[in-house]
Structure 1
Amino acid sequence: MKKIQVYHVDAFTDQIFGGNAAGVVPEAMGLNEHDMQKIARELNLSETAFLFPSNDENYDYVVRYFTPSSEVDFCGHATIGLSWVMAMAYGWLEKAPQIRLKTNIGVVPVEWSMQQNKLNSVVMTQVAPKTKQFEVDKEEICRVVGINPRDIDDKYPIRLAYTGNWHLLIPVKDSKAIDASVPILEELKDLNLKWNITTTHLFSFNSFDERYKIYTRDFAPAVGIAEDPVTGAANGALAGYLVLENILDSKTDHEFTIAQGHATGRPGEVAIKIIAGKANPTIKVGGKAVISIHGTINL
């Protein structure tokens, strides 16, 4: 019998049972795809991250991410969670100022943000952002997502955006309209699969709280997740969209906080930093985390 160490980590929060829970398997050596998929299904969290040691000096670990139903190329909240585990439980806080992760989309470095000599948050640099047109009938997309067409904020375009996965971004006038959304999940799943979209992300600049610049919700039935409480990948893609679509000044750095998870009873905060660049902006996504469970799986 092989005993596999496993952690549950609540990411993008400093409160247990808040934010978004991720599974983390820090020592995945010897596990194959079948094993990883079964472990992810058993943990039944939106994503579980599996770490493999690296012999390459350019990165410290190889990471793979699985939902209960499939592998995904990248997951933001699981990256926050695994980095917190490696810093706090595996000594990386003393080893180096960052940890470098080789994912299916490239190398993602994660830095430690310290406060009074203690780990305050972890900050990942996502891959270069991209956007592209998405031709869809507004009435139809509103029907599938479950919002009133009058609640679409026409000041901003509906787009596909990417910092590792493609996300459908839908601007909404206010947070109340976002919270009222009741998507038709089977039809949304079909739509996302057709366009190779990982999640559908609703966002509004009219948040319920002035501390937050943006409020969001995220639906991911195409990868087996009805609603993802707090999403690092989708909010990173949203940050890239804001600059690439000239909603925010591309020549200026930006820092702000996104609120998500309140509709699911798991409130979280995503810290966004956009660094202006000549070719592409650099998108940094940060957050706190809490280790809620540590145990073993008897494989």
Structure 2
Amino acid sequence: MNDIRLVNVFTHRGRGGNPCPIAIDASGWPDDGMQAVAERFGHESGFVLPGSSADFDYAFRFWVPRHEMEMCGHATIGALWCLAKAGRLRADQLRIETRSGPVTGYVDLTDPDDPSVEISQPAGKVVDLTAAEEEEVLATLNLSRRDLLDLPIQNAVTSRVKTLIPMKSTALLNGLSSNMRRTEDCCARIGSTGLYPYAVEDRGAQRFEARQFPKSSGYPEDAATGIAAAALAFGLLRNGLVGRDSQRITVFQGRAMGSLSEIGVRLGFADDRPVGCLLGGSVKPVEPHALHQGSERLPV
């Protein structure tokens, strides 16, 4: 269980990103062994196993220090990147089994030293919160309605439910602070796995900024959350903030943590109907000595 590869996923100009330990061959690993890796490094961790049937090239599992997750976008991208770098990909289009459902991975090996990876996510579902639920979210983050755009707070999901909170400015967004216990209690009451406040940076260029306060991962904030960015893309579409086309949507995250990250989302349509999206971003290896292993969230 010592062959752990460390990568930063969703880096911006070679820096930032979300650190992720990856085991590219976790065959036979027990659950507590996988969870121990997440506890050791303090990050979402990805584990590659054989698929359960011929329908899948691989099965991926994901753990945070406190529990297993059904899906993790950046760990999926990181695992495919590590497999490509190790020369272990079976094809450039792969079917991946996850506990949230099948995922298709697309790997471009034009530059073998830096493979480009995108993964599929299903069409998102977006639901406005009730007035009472909105008040719950505002109280949790010490906000008032004056801090928000004239748009609803929404629960959106592709693989996991995230709560989208439309902030008036990036300054207000990056001034937020969270309390882990209050965030967990709020998310439990509104059926969410994380609060995802966002702000418009450049609407014409489809650039946005966001932060992720997870429900119960064991740390207060994520530097980059691909699944949340995918859910946000469908919220932006619902609210008329992005076009009904496949132009890249860029979501920056992690600025307040000193780890600015960049996530790309491309929506897909059939006859003007959204049918899913592709999620991608840059990956960089991390030198092991750069990470301080321990029970707390690692600096990035």
Structure 1, 107-116 or 34-43: larger mean CA deviation: 107-116
2:270 counterpart residue number? 277
**Structure 1 match to 2:31:** 33
CA contact (8 A) 2:212 2:222 kept: yes
Answering whether residue 111 of structure 2 is matched by residue 113 of structure 1, we say no
Asked if 1:290 is matched to 2:269, the reply is no
1:217 pairs with 2:216? no
Is residue 196 from structure 1 mapped to residue 194 from structure 2 by the alignment? Answer: no
1:142 is matched with which residue?
138
The offset of 1:54, in angstroms, is: 2.3
Query: Structure 1 residue 211: deviation in Å?
Result: 6.5
Range with greater deviation from structure 2 (188-197 or 267-276): 188-197
Mapped partners of 2:280, 2:201: distance in 1: 22
1:120 Cα deviation (Å)?
A: 4.8
Q: Distance in 2 between matches of 1:161 and 1:131?
A: 4
Task: Report deviation, 1:226.
Answer: 0.7
Q: Counterparts in 2 of 1:121-270, with a 5 A limit? A: 121-137=116-132, 138-154=134-150, 156-206=151-201, 213-250=207-244, 252-270=245-263
Q: Which structure has more strand as a fraction of its residues? A: 1
The alignment's TM-score, normalised by the length of structure 2, stands at: 0.87
Give 1:17 deviation, angstroms.
5.8
Give distance in 2, aligned partners of 1:117 and 1:48.
Answer: 24
What is the RMSD computed on CA atoms of the aligned residues? 2.4
Cα distance in 1 for residues equivalent to 2:204 and 2:19: 26
Q: Percent identity among equivalent residues?
A: 26
Q: Number of residues paired by the alignment?
A: 287
Contact 2:12–2:262 (CA<8 Å) still a contact in 1?
Answer: no
For 1:52-91, list aligned pairs within 5 A: 52-54=49-51, 56-91=53-88
C-alpha displacement of 1:225: 2.8
5+ long unaligned stretches in structure 1? none
Local SS of the residue matching 2:184: helix
108 and 6 in structure 1: CA distance in 2 versus 1, 3 angstrom threshold: same
State the one-letter code of the partner of 1:178.
L
Structure 2 residue aligned with 1:23? 21
Q: Verify the 8 A CA contact 1:8 1:294 in the aligned structure 2.
A: yes
**CA shift at 1:175, angstroms?**
0.6
**Local SS of the residue matching 1:270:** strand
Once the two structures are TM-superposed, the CA of residue 277 in structure 1 deviates from its matched residue by 2.3
Letter aligned with residue 13 of structure 1: T
Distance 1:196 1:17 in 2: 33
TM-score normalised to structure 1 length: 0.87
Q: Compared with structure 1, are the counterparts of its residues 162 and 231 closer, same or farther at alpha carbon in structure 2 (3 Å cutoff)?
A: same
Which residue pairs with 2:293 in the alignment? none
